[in-house]
Chains A and B, each alone.
Chain A
Amino acid sequence: MNTTTKQPSVDKALPVTPAIISSSVDEGHRTKSAPFGHALIEEARRRPEIVGMSADLAKYTDIHIFAQAYPDRFYQMGMSEQLMATAAGGLAKEGFIPFATTYATFAARRCYDFISQAVAEQDANVKFVGGLPGLTTGYGPSHQATDDLAIFRAMPNLTVLDPCDALDVEQMVPAVAEHKGPVYMRVLRGQVPLVLDEYNYRFELGKAALLRGGRDVLIISTGFMTMRALDAAKELQKDSVDVAVLHVPTVKPLDEVTILREASRSGRLVVVAENHTVIGGLGEAVAGCLMRGGVSCAFRQIGLPDQFLDAGTLPVLQDRYGISRKAVVDRIRCWL
């Protein structure tokens, strides 16, 4: 972001897409509504110890659906994220499994010490769920969670998840509930794209999944960048570029075995794609894994730049910062 005040831009043609929170649905994608909320209701039927919490963002993280179904198992904490994180630790001590939601920025930045000490250090069974991951809003840095994966990867004991689509989200919920220990899960809310059902995919905690094979390029991706990677692979196929896609929904602990196996197949360009800053996220995690594993390959990162991003409209920003479908295709083309 500039430090000098911006110049007026009133003469420019006005875009039509609003800046407001919208999901990153691309043309031609099917969607599913509120997969997190519905999956949590299902899981709560089986596990009476599940309780829900939100810090005044229930409607905006889809946990309001759970709150409507189980009003007596839902705690509205008001706009008090640090309290919510710490009280979730307290509920876990009493044997409950809190699913606590806010935006990813506030979970990661505002609550860090609270989650670190009240939850992770005590290995409390709390599940944090963060909305608006990465660059999924045009509101500017206060709401753009460009650094949450880096922040949470650095926290011992914590499992870190970044779902691709509605299927991923709904399969993560029971796995997260089953797992004993603290979890941070990014969430996509509202009308969420549905793509992985075409790839015979099942979410497994701690496992990467090869969604398609390919001779020329291996994209290792997490979150909705896997959707972008799959679309890019189809597009590049038209130029006879053969692209494999390895989806890594569990950012921590990393499935190093699968990553090393796929990356050591010689002759492929390895591209790591994430909806996150290039600092400290999946890209650097994979790079470290490859170095330690003695795999040397051509390596590129697709991710957000190390800066506070602009405010504006989402499609323009995703293009500007290189994570739109088109940007992914263009960059891979020029790396080949």
Chain B
Amino acid sequence: MDHSPLLHNSELAERAYRVRRNAIVMAEVQGQGYIAQALGVADVLSVAYFHAMNVRPDQPDWEDRDRFLLSVGHYGIAHYAVLTEAGYLPEAELVTYGCDDSRLPMSGMTSYTPGAEMSGGSIGLGLPMAVGMGLGLKRKKSKSFVYILMGDGEMAEGPTWEAAISAAHYQLDNIIALVDFNKVQADGPSTSIMSTEPLVQKFEAFGFFVQRVNGNDLAALVAAFDAAREHPDPKPRIIICDTKMGSGVDFLEAKEKNHFIRLEAEDWKRAYAALDARTVA
């Protein structure tokens, strides 16, 4: 997949469907977890991996690849879902998620999983790490981008803003930051736990090229990723993606307490059915 062919939206939709399905397979193994985030961010990750990024799944450490940093380690489930669809991991391994000696731990770590470029989980390390990699890539005269996925709750972490200042200072136009703005964090709605709005104006003031899009609209995401890659100014780029927790599975979309979801066995079966119903419709 050297600079991946620009997939049509229908192909991307098919990919995103299978990413969601992979996530449900993993969540079902544990009976609980961060399934709503995985479903919500599936479109963003699909556009990243199947439209925007330059990667070789059979050669995860290929020097000229675009980097992808998962800062929110608990989104491992979402990352493994897309890594599997991209071919980094065999589908058969999904059922080991979170189990002993699995390559798919609950919180994403670089030494466990092919394609995982950082150990996240202690949230707030992602953007600072991207600054270092962005500087390093520039030193090497590399054309690669550093993509980094953060959560909206992560916008309250101090290191995020220290990194934002220096990303602009060093004109790191090779950073494409993604924020999964799903309006949820651990204790509840991110808007009431600690409001970080207006986020667009904040990042603009910090010197970023900022876009804010519906993170469940594939066409809008494709346009935003293209604009981020092609923007002429020497600024770091950020795409704030407004996503819907549980997207694609109606009864999970409707759930109120959804940072960490526990379901009965039969409800996981319902989740596959709901996903299929939505995708066919």
Give CA–CA (A60, B121) in the complex, Å.
Answer: 16
With an 8 A cutoff between CB atoms, is B153 at the interface? yes
Give CA–CA (A1, B110) in the complex, Å.
Answer: 11
Q: Which of A59-97 contact B (CB under 8 A)?
A: 59-60, 64, 76-80, 82-83
With A2-B111, A79-B123, A311-B112 in contact, is A20–B194 under 8 Å at CB?
no
Q: How many A-B residue pairs have CB under 8 A?
A: 143
Residues of chain B with a CB closer than 8 A to A58's CB: 187
Asked if residues B107 and A9 are in contact (CB atoms below 8 Å), the reply is: no
With an 8 A cutoff between CB atoms, is B256 at the interface? no
Asked if residues B194 and A78 are in contact (CB atoms below 8 Å), the reply is: yes
Give CA–CA (A317, B105) in the complex, Å.
Answer: 13
Of the listed stretches A43-51, A134-142, A214-222, name the one at the interface; the rest are far from the partner chain.
A134-142
With an 8 A cutoff between CB atoms, is A57 at the interface? yes
Asked if residues B98 and A19 are in contact (CB atoms below 8 Å), the reply is: yes
Interface residue from B29, B31, B112, B187 paired with A5 (Cβ < 8 Å): B112
With an 8 A cutoff between CB atoms, is B242 at the interface? no
Residues of chain A with a CB closer than 8 A to B92's CB: 10
Q: Which of B186-243 contact A (CB under 8 A)?
A: 186-187, 193-194, 196
Residues of chain B with a CB closer than 8 A to A77's CB: 156, 194
With A8-B90, A142-B73 in contact, is A56–B194 under 8 Å at CB?
yes
Interface residue from A14, A56, A109, A317 paired with B96 (Cβ < 8 Å): A14
Asked if residues A311 and B156 are in contact (CB atoms below 8 Å), the reply is: no
With A9-B96, A14-B95 in contact, is A57–B107 under 8 Å at CB?
no
Asked if residues A1 and B109 are in contact (CB atoms below 8 Å), the reply is: yes
Residues of chain A with a CB closer than 8 A to B196's CB: 78
Residues of chain A with a CB closer than 8 A to B95's CB: 10, 14
Give CA–CA (A83, B196) in the complex, Å.
Answer: 15
With A6-B112, A56-B153, A79-B153 in contact, is A12–B105 under 8 Å at CB?
no
Residues of chain A with a CB closer than 8 A to B260's CB: 20
Interface residue from B32, B101, B123, B124 paired with A9 (Cβ < 8 Å): B101
Give CA–CA (A18, B99) in the complex, Å.
Answer: 7
Give CA–CA (A224, B113) in the complex, Å.
Answer: 33
With A18-B98, A311-B109, A313-B99 in contact, is A109–B122 under 8 Å at CB?
yes
Q: Which of B172-188 contact A (CB under 8 A)?
A: 185-187
- 27 A-B pairs (CB sep. < 8 Å): A2-B111, A5-B103, A6-B103, A9-B96, A9-B102, A10-B90, A10-B96, A12-B100, A14-B96, A20-B33, A20-B260, A78-B153, A79-B123, A79-B186, A105-B122, A110-B122, A139-B107, A140-B119, A140-B121, A141-B119, A142-B73, A142-B120, A143-B107, A310-B101, A311-B112, A312-B98, A312-B102
A residues contacting B by CB (< 8 A) are 1-10, 12, 14-15, 18-20, 54, 56-60, 64, 76-80, 82-83, 105-106, 109-110, 138-143, 310-313, 316-317
